Structure formats: C-alpha cells, structure tokens
Amino acid sequence: MVLAEFENYALNISVTIFILWMVLIIWKLGKESGGGKWAYIILSLALGLGFVGFIAKIILVEFVLDIK
C-alpha cells in the first residue's frame, strides 16, 4: 500500500467516524432543546448539509468522474 492510498483510506474513515459523532450531537441537541419536531428537523437539515456535501463529493469524484 502506497502512502497516498493509506492517506485516502484514513481520511475517509476518520471523516466518516466524525460524521457519525456529529449525528449523535445533532440528535442530542434536538432532544434536549425542547423546540419540538419542527426545530429538530430544521437543526438536522442545517447541520446535515455538510455531511451530504462530503458524501456527494466522494460519489462524484470516485464513481462519476472516475478519478483515482
């Protein structure tokens, strides 16, 4: 395994773990805020857009554009 491959795998794995951790934080904030379902939905959408962007970048670069 070349260093560049290791860095690519390490980045994807660490960012995935970070995203899962952030999902737990969003869930906890939504649960403890007492704002109701609408506030939880808005909170999830606003903070979840970054996750969607990261996943879309991976799909676009690796599968659609086929850049290795």
Chain centroid to Cα 30, Å, comes to 17
Tell me the pTM: 0.65
Q: What is the pLDDT of residue 68?
A: 64
CA 15, CA 35: separation in Å to the nearest integer?
Answer: 29
CA 46, CA 30: separation in Å to the nearest integer?
Answer: 12
Structural domain span for residue 11: 3-64
Number of domains observed in the structure of the chain: 1
Which pLDDT tens digit goes with each residue over 37-68?
Answer: 888 888 888 878 878 888 888 888 888 877 76
Give the contacts of 11 (CB within 8 A, at least 6 positions apart): none
Give the C-alpha distances (Å, rounded to integers) separating 49 from 54, 56, 60, 68: 9, 10, 16, 25
